[in-house]
Amino acid sequence: MTADTTGGQLGTAEREETWRRLGSETFDLVVIGGGVVGAGTALDAATRGLRVALVEARDLASGTSSRSSKLFHGGLRYLEQLEFGLVREALRERELMLTRLAPHLVKPVSFLYPLTHRVWERPYTAAGLFMYDRMGGARSVPGQKHLSRAGALRLVPALKRSALIGGIRYFDAQADDARHTMTVARTAAHYGAVIRTSTQVTGFIREADRVSGVRIHDVENSRTQEVQANAVINCTGVWTDELQRLSGSRGRFRVRSSKGVHIVVPRDRIVAESGLILRTEKSVLFVIPWRNHWIVGTTDTDWNLDLAHPAATKHDIDYILEHVNSVLATPLRHEDIEGVYAGLRPLLAGESEETSKLSREHAVARVAPGLVAIAGGKYTTYRVMAADAVDAASADLPGRLQPSITDKVPLLGADGYHALVNQVDQLGARHGLHPYRVRHLLDRYGSLVHEVLALAEGRPELLKPLSAAPDYLQVEVVYAASHEGALHIEDTLARRTRISIEYPHRGVDCARQVAELMADVLGWSEETTNREVEIYQARVAAERDSQTQPDDQAADAIRATAPEARPELKEPEPA
């Protein structure tokens, strides 16, 4: 497929064109699901020369792929579980992201591993980190460094002196998961993939015993039509079983949902120059630097309720605070928390009752002629999963399938990024922006920053910050709606920006301003603008209330009271 001329733009004009194409063309592949695996599968297929369409019922990265720990990491704890192949594979992917595919989005991040036992723990941990480095961990990031207790406390003064006897510093990588997923999808569109959100699969088309397409429903305006394809790939993560049931095919594996909760606190609440990784009785707890904040998490518990809106409980938040406060000299309090988010990991169902011990390996299967399903895995290995999914569909595709080349395809914004980093002063002077602001934009958009800033030509007010969220410029909201496929203010506040977790007001105080900026692009009436604000306010109120509840059932019941931004969405029946 040839690259398109819009730079992967996902705007209103493209939205109408993609609807027309979905109903009039026959595709090699239809991908269901706009998380990182679905977006990666669309990119993999498009760059192999296949005709591919991706449909997502909600928004890009609206599920698991916006609610992770935001790390590209090998998974240090998987070494202890002897999953060497998974760690090696993940470290190779991390290396590719840092150096070639997404250096504008994926950055090195430092962690301190506090040592608490004398004699055995330092050599034991050092051996694990040595393997980590040898498997690929130290090519694009520094290798491990051993620290005395005094050295560790200089690095992280927030720790209690009694909480450690020494430490080891090592590096991994992090990224804004929602922005990365959206960029993968836009890159796929750039190479010819049809990408369409708010487009729900409501059924499968069959010819004799094979799947030959899907029926889709536009949840913004209730239009329906059929999409013809040689093969369909189910990349719906925690919804895998529901889609399998809808297809009428018997699945080869089952997916189990594990809830992970994170809290976000201001940077000044933990005095440290490095993140932390802490062992818990079940797994590990991360304290991750995140711009002017820390992300602290995660929990790991079974979840059998609403898959779209997993709810954090007071118990989840107390668990995180209890564990992190066990090592902090100045404890975190509930009132320190700026944001909370809960996500679901799609784990392959196994025999173990403890979700934290289930494998993060992925599984892919051709469950019926014309239908492939993929699930499991971890965010870091999405590109490998995508390639495996397309390979599995090859039996249903005409002609010879070219090998995967996404290890050589930089994401949009990567080309030219390093040169622009060296030009921040000139860029800032040209647009009247502080160099710090330009660096922040470059780390969100890379070389696409020119597209973003071009929207402010003749409208200098767009280069002013949002009044209640000054980390973000008004032009970023306009760009989210015009180029990045944001259709509702929830899409912009929760995923195109991270205002919903980075500010104590969780986006409520800037919802009106954001809605009015988006209204200009999307053509909203005053009534629609008001409704968008009301829906978002109700969402935040329900989330806040759910986070005071004692258990999952109570929290889920409260969260379910909030209206959907996409009211025409039809919830699939549980498998």
Look at strands 371-376 and 224-234 and give their pairing: parallel
How far is residue 399's CA from residue 13's CA, in Å, rounded to a whole number? 33
> Encoding tokens for residue 72?
């590209």
How far is residue 409's CA from residue 412's CA, in Å, rounded to a whole number? 9
Taking only the tens of pLDDT, the chain with its 575 residues reads 444 545 799 999 999 999 999 999 999 999 999 999 999 999 999 999 999 999 999 999 999 999 999 999 877 767 666 677 778 888 899 999 999 999 999 999 999 999 999 988 889 888 888 877 777 655 778 888 999 999 999 999 999 999 999 999 999 999 999 999 999 999 999 999 999 999 999 999 999 889 999 999 999 999 999 999 999 999 999 999 999 999 988 777 889 999 999 999 999 999 999 999 998 877 789 999 999 999 999 899 999 999 999 999 999 999 999 999 999 999 999 999 999 999 999 988 753 444 434 445 788 999 999 999 999 888 999 999 999 999 999 999 998 999 999 999 999 999 999 999 999 999 999 999 999 999 999 999 999 999 999 999 999 999 999 999 999 999 999 999 999 999 999 999 999 999 999 999 999 999 999 999 999 999 999 999 999 999 999 999 999 999 999 999 999 999 999 999 998 898 765 54
How far is residue 281's CA from residue 286's CA, in Å, rounded to a whole number? 14
User: Angle between the 177-190 and 36-47 helix axes, to the nearest 10 degrees?
Assistant: 20
Candidates 37, 77, 30, 104; CA nearest to 370 is 30
Q: What is the pLDDT of residue 6?
A: 55
Candidates 295, 297, 311; CA nearest to 257 is 311
How far from 327 is each of 272, 288, 324, 442, CA to CA, in Å?
A: 13, 15, 6, 35
Look at strands 293-297 and 284-290 and give their pairing: antiparallel
Q: Where are the alpha helices (DSSP H) in 97-176?
A: 121-132, 149-155
How far is residue 331's CA from residue 396's CA, in Å, rounded to a whole number? 57
DSSP letter at 193? -
DSSP letter at 521? H
How far is residue 29's CA from residue 44's CA, in Å, rounded to a whole number? 11
Contact 485, 59 (CB under 8 A): yes
Contact 25, 51 (CB under 8 A): yes
Residue 519 parent element (H or E): helix 511-522
Q: What is the pLDDT of residue 519?
A: 98
Quickly list DSSP for 81-94: TT-HHHHHHHHHHH
Radius of gyration of the chain (CA): 23
Q: What is the pLDDT of residue 5?
A: 43
CB atoms within 10 A of CB 403: 8
Strand partners, 552: none
Quickly list DSSP for 290-347: ETTEEEEE---EE--S-SSS----HHHHHHHHHHHHTTBSS---GGG--EEEEEEEEE
How far is residue 406's CA from residue 47's CA, in Å, rounded to a whole number? 7
Quickly list DSSP for 458-505: T-GGGGSEETTEEEEEHHHHHHHHHTB---SHHHIIIIIS-HHHHSTT
How far from 415 is each of 18, 125, 142, 175, 438, CA to CA, in Å?
A: 27, 38, 24, 18, 17
pTM attached to this predicted model: 0.95
CB atoms within 10 A of CB 558: 19
| 451 Ramachandran zone, left/alpha/beta (phi>0; psi -120 to 50) | alpha
User: Angle between the 511-522 and 474-482 helix axes, to the nearest 10 degrees?
Assistant: 40
